[in-house]
Amino acid sequence: MKLSREKRKRHTSMESDDGGQQVVPFQLQFDRPLPSQIKIAEWNPEKDLLAMVSEDSKVMLHRFNWQRLWTISPGKSVTSICWRPDGKALAVGLEEGTVLLHDVENGKLLRSLKFHTAAVVCLNWEEDLQSQKNGCDNNLSFEDRTPHFLPPAPRAPRMPGLVSGDAGFTDDGQDSFVEFSNSSHRRFNILCSGDRDGTLLFSIFGIFPIGKINIHLCKIPYMVEDRQTRCKLLNSSIAKVALSKDLCHLTVTCYGELVEDETELGDEQMVGHNMHGLHCLMLDTSIFQKRKNELHQVAQQASNIEELNEVVRASLSVMHKQWSDAMSTFHEKFNSLSNLIVGHGLDSSPQEEFLSLLGGARTSPPVHQFLVNSLGESPAAEIIAFRMGELRGLSRWRARYRGIGLDETLIDSAMEKAGMFLVQVDRFMRVLSSVVQLFSNFFSWLLKCIKLLMSEASDQPPIYNSELVIVFLKFLYDQDPVKQLLEASEADHCIEIDLETTQRIKELIQFGGFSDAKYLQRTLAKEFLQLELSFKEAVGMPFSTISKKIVCEDLLPLSPLTSALPSHVPISVSYYEDTSSIISSGESERNLLIDYISFQIPDESLDIGNCIVILRGLMNAPGSRSRGENSLEAILLCIPDGYYCVDLSLYKESQIVLLLNERRDASESSGDACLMILQATELAFSHISRSSRLNDWEVLQLKDSVVRLEMANEKARSIPHSVVSPLAVSASRGVACVFAAKKRAIVYILDEDEEEEASDAE
């Protein structure tokens, strides 16, 4: 941080030399060429780091001095990116619906989560502001006991001999992986992702899905001619989502067709003449705020269990593979023996054959390795059980946790399964160890036989137990109990248990044992499947409960569209703390938030060309509307002649950064561009009355009161390039990055105060 500021200073002094004549509003930091055009760019909220996605879907991270930290290519088309609020992880949304989480330090893949089926077009990750500020509720934010009692969770072992492209990312990422699991859970945050099909998904910590809503199916309350009705958005696609900092509201801007949903009539009718266009939805997500602590707890435990399930699944499959590899080597060698016996192969010398047999003995190192590997599994099972127990404790707190759908009976049954799995792991370890013992005993016997056959004198004959050789030949030579336990495809295979054990298990039921007396007949793999299933069921309840509690509270049609899907409409949504408004006596502690939505009206619509709209106060509208008040305000700004808006972005303290391009004829390839900053609070907003009819674009009310922007009056700086979107603005760092059409990245420092301070210091 300090270093970067020094660097900035140096750059500033350099620039002022060639600039000279007058105070240029935004200092140029640098202007660098780019290897390819950038389609998405986001500043890290905590550090001077810029993440960019190039046209060929490479994700790059640059320092403020333009030093590249890392580049990754997810292999699929990247459609959106977003930083975690603490700046330590980057979420990358892909065309095929996956969200990847990458470590900021090295770009390693931390998680890959597939919650969507369509392209993830927007991501928004917000942290709960309130808990940071007043730090209260300490008695309700229970700490996680697991790290006190159990070692850190094991990591999924990698499949041996499998080198895939993705493996490069996960390489020895153990520390960062563990670190991620721990650090991400300190503060409650929610990642909201929206896809092209209109599905919105909320996930706590970015990894634990907690709610899902589809805006197509969303019933939108709407007043039509003084009558409350419900509407629907058809064919909608999400453009942008923004979660308020108190997590109570979600603003969704989307394209779609608004229709009235008259269920009693059974048909859908168009509300207005043409309500296809850009709409803004306000969703009530206050459940996240209200049940914050509960959700935090549940997510913390459940996401960890999910992770551990992943680990167990991976280690089971690795164990299976290693075991079957070892076994196939063994059988390869020994099949030749049976051939030999069948064919009376007297030609080849028995010694040679036996020597090749001895190769079979070399299976033991991998077998041993495998044992060590499998040992890693046991703590995983134990941690699963422990966390499940914690979850059960939460589920029993009915007053609090029933509200978020944590069901005691479901958790209980998952707990039972976890217990059975633990016992199964125990049994497996025993079987495995005895099998390995039998194998090694068999090999010792073999070695001795060979030595005898070759009449080789040996001072130390291997010791073996002849009984165990018999057991081996009888039960292991042509059977594979370990494989039976491990193989998922043989999951329905029934393990034979001797009568004594069955009776004991039955007796144990009276001692509070597992009520399912037949569980030892299941294989390990099957038991794990059941554990996973019952856990999913248990976690599914909160998911569906929360999903139901996210409701749409308001809709505001923004602007009509002529084309089905516009290529790019500059939109920016942000929430600011409302300093101007009166702090009402009752809610004195709560910081009132006010939402700002700014967008450019698509050229062809509404007969208002080249204008941008800034709306505010929609969030507070529904409540106040019932009281007859209306806080919704808007302003229509006309872009100076000769320019058009490329992109816009809401910046800190209700400021808006506009990126304008000079209108030129097509022949002239490069024109100048302009970066402009507006203080929204100084603009003359006017109230918008919510019309009672549905077929109105409310923005039209402002048609007569367009405010014209003049280049000379505003804080603006011209850029000697023709620019393209995106415009990346960092509110916390006070910088903006624009991209020139000629593959250049240009960074400006927006925050002059800071700069002045810096020069004062000099």
Partner 1 sequence: MDLEKLVYEKVTEEIEAKRRAGEKIPFHLHTPTTLIGLVEDFNISAKAKFKESSKAKEASPYAFCVDDSLKDMDGVFLRSNWQIQGFLAEQADAIEKRGSSFSLNAFELMLRQLEKLAPELHRVHFLRYLNSLYHDDYTAALENLHKYFDSSAGTEGLDVASPCVINNHGRFEVALLCQGMLHFHFGHPKQALEVLAEAVQVSQQHHNDSCLAYTLAAICNLLSEIGISSTSPLLRSSYSPIARMGTSFSVQQQLFVLLRGSLKRAESLKLKRLVASNHLTLAKFHLMHVQRPLLSFGPKALMKLKTCPINVCKELRLSSSLITEFGSENSVMTTDGAQSTAWLKNLQKPIGSSVFLEETISGNRPYASSFFAQPSSIPGSVLQHIGSLQLVRATAWEIYGSAPLARINTLAFANCFADHSSSADAALAYGKLIVYLATYKGYKAAFAALKIAEDRFLSVSKSQMLTVKLQLLHEHALHRGQLKVAQQVSNELGVMASPVTGVDMDLKTEASLRHARTLLAAKQFSKAAAVAHSLFCMCYKFNLHVHNASVLLLLAEIHKKSGNAVLGLPYALASLSFCQSLNLDLLKASATLTLAELWLCLGTNHAKRALALIHSALPMILGHGGLELRARACIAEAKCYLSDPSFSVSKDPEMVLDSLRQATEELQLLEYHELAAEAFYLMAITYDKLGRFEEREEAAASFRSHIKALGNPQDEVNHEPM
Residues 138-177 that bind partner 1 (CB under 8 A): 139-140, 142, 145, 148-151
Distance CA 432, CA 377 (A): 13
User: Which residue shows structure tokens 């002045």?
Assistant: 756
Which lies closer to partner 1 via its Cβ, residue 14 or residue 397? 397
Q: Select from 133, 186, 430, 687 the one that contacts partner 1 (CB under 8 A).
A: 430
Instruction: Mark the segment that binds partner 1 (CB under 8 A) among 28-36, 59-67, 421-429, 642-650.
Output: 421-429
**β-pairing, 89-94 with 98-103?**
antiparallel
Q: Does the footprint of partner 1 cover residue 136 (CB under 8 A)?
A: no
SS3 157: coil
- Minimum CB–partner distance for residue 519 and partner 1 (Å): 9
- Minimum CB–partner distance for residue 355 and partner 1 (Å): 24
What are the structure tokens assigned to 167, written together? 């493996």
Q: Does the footprint of partner 1 cover residue 467 (CB under 8 A)?
A: yes
What are the angstrom distances between the C-alpha of 136 and each of 130, 140, 143, 505, 589? 9, 9, 14, 49, 12
Cβ atoms of residues 100 and 111 within 8 Å:
yes
Q: Taking the mean position of all CA atoms in its chain, how far away is CA 360?
A: 47
- Minimum CB–partner distance for residue 472 and partner 1 (Å): 9
The DSSP annotation for 712-731 comes to TTSEEEEESS-EEEEEEEET
Cβ atoms of residues 361 and 443 within 8 Å:
yes
- Minimum CB–partner distance for residue 421 and partner 1 (Å): 9
What are the structure tokens assigned to 337, written together? 């023996």
User: Which residue shows structure tokens 């980057």?
Assistant: 90
Distance CA 624, CA 688 (A): 13
Q: Which of residues 478-497 bind partner 1 (CB under 8 A)?
A: 479, 481, 495-497
Q: Which of residues 682-711 bind partner 1 (CB under 8 A)?
A: none
- Minimum CB–partner distance for residue 441 and partner 1 (Å): 8
- Minimum CB–partner distance for residue 761 and partner 1 (Å): 37
Distance CA 19, CA 15 (A): 6
Q: Which of residues 287-306 bind partner 1 (CB under 8 A)?
A: 297
Q: Which of residues 32-91 bind partner 1 (CB under 8 A)?
A: none
Strands (E), 73-153: 78-83, 89-94, 98-103, 109-114, 120-127
Residues 604-623: x where in contact with partner 1 by CB under 8 A, - otherwise, as a string: --------------------
Which lies closer to partner 1 via its Cβ, residue 475 or residue 623? 475
- Minimum CB–partner distance for residue 474 and partner 1 (Å): 6
Q: CA nearest 302: which of 415, 137, 199, 150?
A: 415
Q: Does the footprint of partner 1 cover residue 512 (CB under 8 A)?
A: yes
Q: Select from 397, 453, 515, 583 the one that contacts partner 1 (CB under 8 A).
A: 397
DSSP class of residue 529 equals H
Instruction: Mark the segment that binds partner 1 (CB under 8 A) among 248-256, 324-332, 379-387, 577-585.
Output: 379-387
Q: Does the footprint of partner 1 cover residue 513 (CB under 8 A)?
A: yes
Instruction: Mark the segment that binds partner 1 (CB under 8 A) among 171-179, 505-513, 571-579, 622-630.
Output: 505-513
291: Cβ–Cβ under 8 A, 6 or more apart, which residues? 400, 403, 404
Q: Does the footprint of partner 1 cover residue 470 (CB under 8 A)?
A: yes
Residues 401-420: x where in contact with partner 1 by CB under 8 A, - otherwise, as a string: --------------x--xx-
Q: Select from 16, 373, 434, 695 the one that contacts partner 1 (CB under 8 A).
A: 434
Q: Select from 21, 225, 511, 586 the one that contacts partner 1 (CB under 8 A).
A: 511
What are the angstrom distances between the C-alpha of 715 and each of 315, 674, 718, 727? 60, 10, 10, 17
Q: Cα 51–56–61 angle (5° rounding)?
A: 15
Distance CA 233, CA 235 (A): 7
Q: Select from 386, 535, 596, 651 the one that contacts partner 1 (CB under 8 A).
A: 386
Q: Select from 332, 341, 475, 757 the one that contacts partner 1 (CB under 8 A).
A: 475
Q: How many residues bind partner 1 (CB under 8 A)?
A: 74
Q: Does the footprint of partner 1 cover residue 327 (CB under 8 A)?
A: no
621: Cβ–Cβ under 8 A, 6 or more apart, which residues? 282, 554, 630, 631, 632, 690
Which lies closer to partner 1 via its Cβ, residue 388 or residue 660? 388
- Minimum CB–partner distance for residue 498 and partner 1 (Å): 4
SS3 211: strand
Instruction: Mark the segment that binds partner 1 (CB under 8 A) among 236-244, 423-431, 566-574, 643-651.
Output: 423-431
Q: Does the footprint of partner 1 cover residue 732 (CB under 8 A)?
A: no
DSSP class of residue 628 equals T
- Minimum CB–partner distance for residue 481 and partner 1 (Å): 4
- Minimum CB–partner distance for residue 493 and partner 1 (Å): 11
Instruction: Mark the segment that binds partner 1 (CB under 8 A) among 67-75, 219-227, 471-479, 748-756.
Output: 471-479
Q: CA nearest 193: which of 82, 281, 58?
A: 82
Burial 195-206 (b: 16+ CB within 10 A, else e): bbbbbbbbbbbb
What are the structure tokens assigned to 301, written together? 């435990």
Half-sphere exposure of residue 306: CA atoms within 13 angstroms, side-chain side? 18
